Structure 1
């Protein structure tokens, strides 16, 4: 039997751009979160007394890795060294191997794979021979099929593990299609386990042999929702067992909240507060986006306060504590506004505007200015069709809200 930790995409010292408008203690918590996730991973490895740890790419958030991140990582690796736990590490597209003169040396228990697929050997306490094959990126974009250079399972190995930071062809993902491979190519190698990295969503692509993306250890933005962590892998001659262990100090979640029949401000404020209290726990903090649906009865004055961010500001008045819930966004569910009476006044113009803005070229021209600002470009990293449609739907809903408010004001006057 062999037991090990499989993790990837730690992104230590991730900048979390665009999230500084919050209380200092919350900012500090989210800044520390990638570091805390690594410490939790090491705690798990030590507690379980694993044979080794696999870290499959993007240990750091950029090739210009900070000295702080490197020193922190080295200290955590020292903890594993003191317990005689080796670490097999590959670098990915974010932290590719660049100027070695700017890198801190790692403890001797950390084995770093080179530019081309190579194999390292480990003999466990049970005298089992483990072969581990992988490679590190030496540039940000690798389009070659590195999988072609991985050997077939070596006969002298009791277990053969593959480490591959890359893109599974046929997988729907916003991530770059680096070091591409197919499941058939992986299976043809006859390895006992494929430890993948690069895709931040946890996915088991195959069960026998296990081919696994563990996801990242800490969600870093609103797209990376739900539990984040690492895999505890146990393999014997007859079976494989994979157990997920959470490492994230902060989770991102989205809540769809029906406020059917709600009219006034106090009721909606109380309703959201009750949701917040129900989410609090003593294991991790939460960043929550609230989407309000069934809002037909809501007073337009209340709707206006939500659009202008007043309700959000009120909910963000939170006390300092170890485990908090932070509401970072409140929005209305998208609605079909094509049949609204006020749009019937200019149906041709409305449809023409929609057709024009939905075209990729026009959409990109309209949004290019946002991508020119480095402070927010990280949050706007994708302009594919699904992203484009989501933005357009939000804009349509905003138009509805604004026109309704203006119309109600005219009636009152």
Structure 2
């Protein structure tokens, strides 16, 4: 029986986007979150007595600003060496050979797989064969897995691969491959990286994305960590283990029926407390999204700063300095929205605009044309769309949402301006 840890996407020293500008957020704690998560990984490996660690790409977030990032990683790997733990890693798209200009010699317990072809390392004492190939450049579009070697007979075969597999929203389609193709390779475990959300693609054999070890922005929500694998004869068991030190969540607050600021505060506190109670051992970074039909809609539009600070205050009441508000978004509508629509003059300007919005949503040709033009535009805005705040339009549902937003904006303008034509 032996154990190993499978992790990926460490993104060492990657900034936690959205918190660094907050005056009350401790900058040092934010800056070092990925380092603390890696230290937690090493602590776990030592405590569990694992034989080795596999890292499926993206140790680094890109080229180092200086040598401190590399020195930190080397020191943590040396801790593993001192406990007899080996490390097998591949480079991914963020730390591909062409992306990193500075280099340091890593401790001798670390094996980095070559970039020009797949490579196999055998651990004869454990009966393990580990196969892997690093990215030579950032954008690897060919199927690397197709060239991985056949399994070594009578050994436990592990494939390490940085890949988008069959495609994942929000991730570049690097080193694409089919799940069935990996199954047919005949390995006993596939250690994947690149996708930052934990996913078990297959269970016999296990094909797993462990997710990244520390969420870095609101699109990387929830628990983050690694996979602890136990091999006992023919039996393979996997466990997710948390490593993160700060967790991101979107906190949805339904303001339907809220009529006073006190109602608002009570509802926000309740929604925040629900998340805080479930994750009481962790610092939290929350994006609060307020929605619903409410009599407060006009007040929120008139004085959003007050309501943002009410949210900040609610977070302090619930969690003190353990909860930070990354952003507050208001997606409320007027409590009288349905009545305004029903009483609208269909021949007036607002009525004609509202009818045009309705026809657009029902017009399949319009929606398809809109998506086609948007796809081309999004291609030229690739860097912007990497932002956690970016709005993508990739589906008919996205178009419907934009049209509904336009409808609500029109109703809001009518309410605030007294226009009802």
User: What is the deviation of 1:404?
Assistant: 4.8
Partner of 1:258: 254
Asked if residue 117 in structure 1 is aligned to residue 118 in structure 2, the reply is yes
Aligned residue for 1:160?
157
- SS of the counterpart of 2:322? coil
| 1:39–1:262 CA distance, 2 compared to 1 (3 A) | same
Q: Which residue matches 1:378? A: 387
Tell me the equivalent position of 1:236.
Answer: 232
Q: Give unpaired runs (5+ residues) of structure 1.
A: none
TM-score between both structures, scaled by the size of structure 1: 0.85
Distance 1:165 1:342 in 2: 56
Could you tell me which residue of structure 1 aligns to residue 133 of structure 2?
Answer: 135
Does structure 1 conserve the Cα–Cα contact (< 8 Å) formed by 2:99 and 2:138?
Answer: no
- The 1-side partners of 2:72 and 2:153 are apart by 38
Please tell me the root mean square deviation across aligned C-alpha atoms, in Å: 3.4
Mapped partners of 1:103, 1:13: distance in 2: 16
Tell which deviates more after alignment, 340-349 or 275-284.
340-349
For 2:379 and 2:200, the matched residues in 1 are separated by: 37
Distance in structure 1 (CA, Å) of the matches to 2:4 and 2:283: 28
1:144 is paired with a residue whose SS is: coil
Separation in 1 of the partners of 2:345 and 2:221? 36
Q: Secondary structure at the match of 1:107?
A: coil
In terms of mean alpha carbon deviation, does 389-398 or 18-27 score higher?
389-398
Cα deviation for residue 26 of structure 1 reads 3.9
Distance in 1 (alpha carbons) for counterparts of 2:376 and 2:120: 48
Give the alignment of 1:368-407 within 5 angstroms.
Answer: 371=381, 378-379=387-388, 383-386=392-395, 389=399, 392=402, 395-396=405-406, 399-400=409-410, 402-407=412-417
Moved more, 282-291 or 177-186: 282-291
Report if the CA contact (8 A) 2:294-2:333 is conserved.
no
Structure 2 spans left out of the alignment, 5+ residues: 361-365
Q: Offset at 1:253?
A: 1.3
Q: Does 1:291 align with 2:289?
A: yes
1:349-377 C-alpha deviation (Å, 9 max, x unpaired): 456578589824665799899x5997x96
Q: Which residue of 2 aligns with 1:77?
A: 77
TM-score, reference length from structure 2:
0.83
Query: Matched residue of 2:309: which SS?
Result: helix
**What is the rounded CA distance, in whole Å, between the counterparts of 2:174 and 2:403 in structure 1?**
31
1:303 Cα deviation (Å)?
4.9
What's the offset of the Cα at 1:106?
1.1
CA change 1:8–1:402 in 2 (3 A) is same
Summarize deviations over 1:225-246 as a string: whole Å, max 9, x none: 1111100011222321110011
Give 2:370's aligned residue: 359
Deviates more, 1:359-368 or 1:33-42: 359-368
Q: How far is the alpha carbon of 1:179 from its aligned partner?
A: 0.8
Measure the CA separation in 1 of the matches of 2:404 and 2:308. 17
User: 1: CA distance between counterparts of 2:235 and 2:216?
Assistant: 34
How far the C-alpha of 1:299 sits from its partner, in A, is 5.8
CA-CA distance at 1:136 after TM superposition: 0.6
Structure-2 separation of matches of 1:314 and 1:38: 36
Q: 1:185 maps to which residue?
A: 181
Q: Secondary structure at the match of 2:325?
A: strand
Correspondence 1:6 to 2:6: yes
State how many pairs are aligned.
401
